[in-house]
Amino acid sequence: MNIFSSGIVLTAHENSCLLHVVSDAEAWVTSQITTKAELRRDALINEWRPTLYADASVTELPANADDLATLILARSDYHTRLEKDTAMTPPELVITLNKDAYDAVTRSGSTVTLFPSGITIADLSVNCILAYVQNLEEWVIGALMGQVNRGKKKMVAQYHPIIMADPSVTTMPATEDGLITMILARPDYRKRGQ
Amino acid sequence: MPWTFYNANGQRLSSSAAGISNVVEDTTPQLGGNLDMQANLLVGNGGSTGIAISANGEVNMAAQPSFLAFNSADNANVTGNGTEVTVEFNTEVFDQNADYNNSTDTFTAPVTGRYLFAGAVTVGGMAADSASTGYVKITASNRSARHTFDTGSSANAAGGGAFACIVDMDAADTCLIKFSISGVGGDTADIKGDSSLMQTYFSGQLVA
């Protein structure tokens, strides 16, 4: 499956905040998705093991985690998180808050596009995540923007005292964007890995 | 007289001249007594922030994910007729590891683990004697936890719900709070907020 086929656009500041806490943005996103898929695969197996043991029609099970997850996902009584949520009365609403917040920001001018050809994820990985998560793109945007927020806060927390102690600085910007611009322009600023 | 200690594998552990020179090669090092940290930290993987243990045994973990945020002003007419809203917690009291975003009211887990979330949502502005029910929902990536409550006759035109749950979260998962009131007859109910007394608040902590 390919998601975000046109890539994920970040402002230059968002990208700088991200690179304050990760050394390679695309590698970080890929790693989070891979780890998430493995954790959800293992959780799926643990959740379904009692059902499989109690099912008289199941006489043997694969000894490989991927194959076992594939067997579970193919069962007629298996449903994705979204299928279960929409089948409830009343149905659980699909959460799009992260995507909505991301889409609400106009990103023009100086931008960076991550994964310009999209993110390709193995079907099994996608299906293991969707056993627990309503929408994969919503999850990825939430993960990414959460890390951008973390990078921004850590950058400000780290450099605000440095600026305050710098006798050559007499005033500082009164906006967060202005402060980040000031921090990034400092000769002593170091992003992750530098 | 100079002395040197060796482990069972013949590796030099310490000497009177240089102290412990190298324990890296010892894959199963053991202490013969208490490890006195003095004023130093236990840090991980080259980090500089870690576990601090005071002389009296109190333990602080300055970068352990832990946050508290609250709603500083009323959100008027946001629910009452079944509308589900994302609860606003716009003011941070603390956010130890920069995991909470007060623009989106969302916590993002930095590592896989078990996270305890607790808080409350207070509602007001409901018509007196309107029989209403509501729910407060911990909405995490892997699962949601919903507590439904009855506001009764709502004669005092106020109510609310508290929540607490230990939630399994994977690294980069998110968590926020949803809230809804039904039976008022229209979206005339307010989610309460105050700049000093926390009436609507959200806290979380990595516990395991």
For residue A177, give how far its alpha carbon lies from the nearest alpha carbon of chain B (Å): 14
For residue A91, give how far its alpha carbon lies from the nearest alpha carbon of chain B (Å): 12
| Cα distance between residue B25 and residue B126, in whole Å | 68
Model confidence at B46: pLDDT above 80: no
Model confidence at A177: pLDDT above 80: yes
At B44 the pLDDT is: 86
Q: Which range has the worst mean pLDDT, B23-37, B71-85, B154-168?
A: B154-168
At B26 the pLDDT is: 87
| Cα distance between residue A125 and residue A122, in whole Å | 5
Model confidence at A186: pLDDT above 80: yes
Give B48's pLDDT tier (boundaries 50, 70, 90). Answer: confident
Residues A67-109: tens digit of each pLDDT: 999 999 999 999 999 999 999 988 888 889 999 999 999 998 8
pTM of the shown model? 0.90
Strands B113-124 and B201-206: antiparallel
Q: Name the residue among B172, B182, B162, B94 with its Cα closest to residue B140.
A: B172
SS (H, E, C) A10-64: EEHHHHHHHHHHCCCHHHHHHHHHHHHHHHHHHHHHHHHHHHHHHCCCCCCCCCC
Q: Using the beta-carbon criterion (under 8 Å), do A139 and B84 form an inter-chain contact?
A: no
- A154 contact residues in B (CB cutoff 8 A): 98
CB A115 within 8 A of CB A7: yes
Model confidence at B24: pLDDT above 90: no
For residue B73, give how far its alpha carbon lies from the nearest alpha carbon of chain A (Å): 21
Q: Using the beta-carbon criterion (under 8 Å), do A142 and B86 form an inter-chain contact?
A: no
- B69 contact residues in A (CB cutoff 8 A): none
Residue of chain B whose alpha carbon sits nearest to that of A44: B142
Interface pTM, i.e. ipTM: 0.91
Q: Which of A133, A141, A152, A156 to mutate to test the interface with B (most CBs of B within 10 A)?
A: A133
Residues B128-165: tens digit of each pLDDT: 666 678 999 999 999 999 999 887 655 556 788 999 99
Q: Using the beta-carbon criterion (under 8 Å), do B176 and A40 form an inter-chain contact?
A: no
Residues A15-61: tens digit of each pLDDT: 999 999 999 999 999 999 999 999 999 999 999 999 999 999 999 99
| Candidates A92, A143, A150; nearest CB to B99 | A150
- A35 contact residues in B (CB cutoff 8 A): 112, 170-171
Q: Using the beta-carbon criterion (under 8 Å), do A36 and B98 form an inter-chain contact?
A: no
| Cα distance between residue A29 and residue A11, in whole Å | 17
Q: Is residue A101 within 8 angstroms of chain B, CB to CB?
A: yes
Give A171's pLDDT tier (boundaries 50, 70, 90). Answer: very high
Tell me the residues of chain A between 6 and 65 that have a Cβ less than 8 Å away from chain B. Answer: 32, 35-36, 39-40, 43
At B55 the pLDDT is: 87
Q: Using the beta-carbon criterion (under 8 Å), do A143 and B174 form an inter-chain contact?
A: yes
| Cα distance between residue B151 and residue B165, in whole Å | 22
Q: Is residue B84 within 8 angstroms of chain A, CB to CB?
A: yes
- Alpha carbon of residue A125 to chain centroid: 14
- B144 contact residues in A (CB cutoff 8 A): 92
Cα-based distances in Å from B176 to B12, B77, B88, B123, B137: 53, 20, 9, 18, 8
Cα-based distances in Å from A181 to A96, A106, A167: 30, 18, 19
Q: Using the beta-carbon criterion (under 8 Å), do B139 and A149 form an inter-chain contact?
A: no
Model confidence at B74: pLDDT above 60: yes
Q: Is residue B172 within 8 angstroms of chain A, CB to CB?
A: yes
Give B45's pLDDT tier (boundaries 50, 70, 90). Answer: confident
At A46 the pLDDT is: 98
